[in-house]
Homo-oligomer: A and B are copies of this chain.
Amino acid sequence: MTSDFGQFCPIALASEVLTQKWMLLIIRELNAGSTRFNDIRRGVPRISATLLKQRLNQLEHAGVIIRQPHDNGGDDYLLTEAGRELKSVLAPIGEWGQRWAREIDDGDLDPGWLVWAMHRRLDLSKMPAGRTVLEIAFTDAPKDQRFFWLVCENNNVEVCVKPTGFDVDLRVSTSVRIFAEIWRGLRPLQPEIANGAIRLEGDTNLMRDFPGWLLLSVFAKTKQQR
């Protein structure tokens, strides 16, 4: 799709790049900090490798990113100034989506994506110093997507899909749907802990401070309108 709208309106020209399938989500990942091929994929899990590479090439061609060879093979994909300025495009789109977009259905509830989103929204400054290991257990997810682990240390959070070998400091058990609705800001967190829809087990301080360091979606504070 999408090229040659036959007009030189800046919105049309920008659309040639931005409205390609998956493009905004890739740009969102880049602006969230991902630079590596497979990191981007974790934020956009349903895209194929072929297509992601093609989109990255288009972004490079459009001057949104540059490639930089990486030691361990592959490239780093780094935003240019033009790419960083796309934050000002993503923000209002997300706000609008939060206010007006359709309700979500079960097909949108990807547990892995939710954990990947979480890993960028933990306030490490409000967590204990040193290493903290979280286990997320989605009670209603298929077996291979039921458990995830977040290893937090040194201003860095790693997402694992297998046990880490470290002791778990806090286990969070919940259904994907409930947690997603909290994540989106559609329901408050505290009552769901109180009524047991979210179960916390482990370190007492971590449990107590959980609502403090779990930052939720960037758009959680924007009120839904429909």
On A, residues with C-beta under 8 Å from B are 1-2, 4-25, 28, 44-46, 62-64, 81-82, 85-86, 88-102, 104, 107-110, 113, 117, 180, 184, 217, 219, 225-226
In the complex, the count of this chain's copies comes to: 2
Q: By the criterion CB–CB under 8 Å, are A107 and B63 in contact?
A: no
Beta-carbon contact of A101 and B14 below 8 Å: yes
Q: Are B10 and A101 in contact (CB under 8 A)?
A: yes
Assess A2 versus B21: contact at CB under 8 Å? Given A10-B98, A95-B88. Answer: yes
Is the Cβ of A82 less than 8 Å from the Cβ of B226?
Answer: yes
**B5 contacts A22, C-beta separation under 8 Å:** yes
Give chain B residues whose Cβ lies under 8 Å from the Cβ of A91.
92
Q: What are 14 A-B contacts defined by CB distance under 8 Å?
A: A6-B107, A7-B110, A8-B104, A8-B108, A9-B117, A10-B96, A14-B96, A14-B97, A19-B21, A19-B24, A64-B100, A85-B100, A86-B96, A92-B92
